[in-house]
């Protein structure tokens, strides 16, 4: 499988297709048409075919896609045929909510390290069995636990310092919940989570309705 | 301004453009080329022109876009030239984190009502001044406070019941953080927030590098 320069939006859509396919696997659906899959994912069938065409030949003309097979292939493309180890920094409300959220484990993301600078929290064992470490130990603990992706849930003015520490591990991929732009060198990647982008879609729906 | 059938992805991108333009307004940048704006937003310049073309004529050939003007226009398109009133249900870690997150107020989203079924929480006044109401009062309180968008942060098995109550208000737009598919009638819109979709982008980056 060749990795060309793929649009970021294609990767996001593959991820969304995989969520829909997982639902079908759970329901026992063996085959799906590109029309049905497209409707479920809020895109048009041509988009699905175009997205998949970057990676090869999928589906059977006049039949559709074999659900389990396509899910397996998409997960392989995305690199989800393995578990990924996450390290999370900032054990406030958001950090605790993320650690407890069922989606991560379900999708193969495993928290292996947690950090905070609040001395009331450091050393505490979480319900998941994880221990909260001080941030000064980030580099060492991330190396020891094999952390691959950093999750930043700190206040905005701390986020860049945390990112710098992750780069030293080196952890090359960061999921950033702090409302601030983080600078990283080439080859490192940051995904920012901004809940309000989704709200803008709703505002547009209510306005343009 | 006419509202045609606009792709959902275009609306999401408009939202992302507006975030970048806000940064430029803060920095005092008066004009931006579509190339610079595109680079900041991770798309190509043709995409920006195509997205904006749905809504009219923007920018000046050979000059670019006037930052403040384009931001104003995009906010108007998205319906963000007013504040939106949010009602939030489920005051666990995630609900509390959202209430405290700076992005909402910054983008014109205001929490006007909060609900939970935990009797230890009901009646408590939050740092923001909001009082937590029992869920049985959702319809009445949402009508009284003029709630327009519902935010669901409950466990998955409670989410559909909460959605049904919102539909009764009627609140026609829901932001759903519960990891479950919510059913709504035509004309109502649900946006699901799934943090792991962003993680899949990172996993792909680490795999395909």
Domain of A157: which CATH number? 3.40.50.720
Q: Are residues A93 and A42 part of one domain?
A: no
pTM for this model (two decimals): 0.85
Q: Are residues A104 and A45 part of one domain?
A: no
Q: Are residues A127 and A102 part of one domain?
A: yes
Contact B104 A193 (CB under 8 A): no
Is A102 domain-assigned?
A: yes
Q: Are residues B187 and B92 part of one domain?
A: yes
Is B121 domain-assigned?
A: yes
ipTM value, please give it: 0.90
Q: Judged by CB atoms within 8 Å, which residues 120-179 of B form the interface with A?
A: 148-149, 156, 172-175, 179
Whole-number average pLDDT of chain B: 92
When CB atoms are compared, the residue of B6, B156, B200 closest to A80 is: B200
Q: Are residues A95 and A50 part of one domain?
A: no
Q: Are residues A89 and A72 part of one domain?
A: no
* Tokens of residue A1, six digits: 């499988």
Task: Please report, for residues A25, A35, A36, A177, B183, the alpha-carbon distance to residue A32 in angstroms, rounded to integers and kept in the order given.
Answer: 11, 8, 6, 35, 21
Residue with tokens 């704006």: B37
Q: Are residues A45 and A22 part of one domain?
A: yes
Is A4 an 8 Å CB contact of chain B? no
User: Coil, helix or strand for B209?
Assistant: coil
Distance CA B189, CA B160 (A): 13
Q: Are residues A93 and A45 part of one domain?
A: no
Distance CA A79, CA B154 (A): 30
pLDDT digits (tens), chain A, 209 positions: 445 578 888 898 999 899 999 999 999 999 999 999 998 887 888 889 999 999 999 989 888 999 999 999 999 999 999 999 999 999 999 999 999 888 898 889 999 999 999 999 999 998 888 999 999 999 999 999 999 999 999 999 999 999 999 999 999 999 999 988 899 999 999 998 888 889 999 999 999 86
What local confidence, expressed as pLDDT, does residue B100 receive? 87
Is B103 an 8 Å CB contact of chain A? yes
Residues in chain B closer than 8 A to A98 (CB atoms): 195
- pLDDT category at B179 given cuts 50, 70, 90 is confident
Q: Which of A49, A77, A105 is the last residue of a domain?
A: A77
Is A174 domain-assigned?
A: yes
At residue A153, what are phi and psi to the nearest 5 degrees?
-125, 30
Q: Are residues B58 and B25 part of one domain?
A: yes
Domain of A24: which CATH number? 1.10.10.10
Residue B191 has pLDDT above 60, yes or no: yes
Q: Which of A22, A56, A77 is the last residue of a domain?
A: A77
Q: Which domain holds residue B69?
A: 8-78
Distance CA B28, CA B68 (A): 10
Q: Are residues A90 and A19 part of one domain?
A: no
Is B103 domain-assigned?
A: yes
pLDDT tens for each residue of B162-175: 999 999 999 999 99
Contact B175 A6 (CB under 8 A): no
- pLDDT category at B2 given cuts 50, 70, 90 is very low
Is A129 domain-assigned?
A: yes
pLDDT tens for each residue of B88-125: 999 999 999 999 888 898 889 999 999 999 999 999 99
Is A202 domain-assigned?
A: no
pLDDT tens for each residue of B51-74: 999 999 999 988 899 999 999 999
Q: Are residues A112 and A66 part of one domain?
A: no
Number of domains observed in the structure of chain B: 2
What local confidence, expressed as pLDDT, does residue A2 receive? 46
E strands, B90-164, are 109-115, 132-133, 149-152
Q: Are residues A59 and A115 part of one domain?
A: no
Q: Which of B36, B56, B78 is the last residue of a domain?
A: B78
Is A203 domain-assigned?
A: no
Is A209 domain-assigned?
A: no
């Amino acid at each position: 499988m060749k990795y060309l320069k793929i649009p970021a939006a294609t990767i996001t859509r593959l991820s969304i297709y995989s969520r829909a396919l997982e639902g079908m696997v759970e329901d026992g659906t063996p085959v799906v048409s590109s029309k049905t899959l497209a409707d479920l994912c809020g895109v048009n069938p041509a988009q699905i075919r175009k997205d998949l065409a970057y990676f090869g030949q999928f589906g059977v003309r006049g039949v559709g896609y074999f659900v389990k097979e396509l899910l397996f292939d998409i997960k392989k493309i995305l690199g989800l045929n393995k578990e990924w180890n996450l390290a999370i920094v900032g054990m406030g409300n958001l950090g605790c909510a993320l650690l407890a959220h069922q989606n991560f484990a379900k999708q193969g993301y495993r928290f292996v390290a947690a950090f905070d600078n609040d001395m009331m929290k450091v050393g505490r064992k979480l319900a998941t069995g994880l221990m909260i470490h001080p941030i000064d130990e980030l580099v060492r603990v991330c190396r020891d636990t094999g952390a691959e992706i950093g999750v930043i849930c700190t206040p905005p003015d701390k986020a860049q310092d945390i990112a710098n520490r992750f780069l030293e591990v080196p952890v090359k991929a960061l999921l950033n919940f702090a409302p601030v732009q983080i600078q990283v060198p080439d080859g490192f990647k940051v995904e920012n989570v901004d809940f309000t982008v989704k709200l803008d879609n709703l505002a547009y729906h209510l306005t343009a309705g």
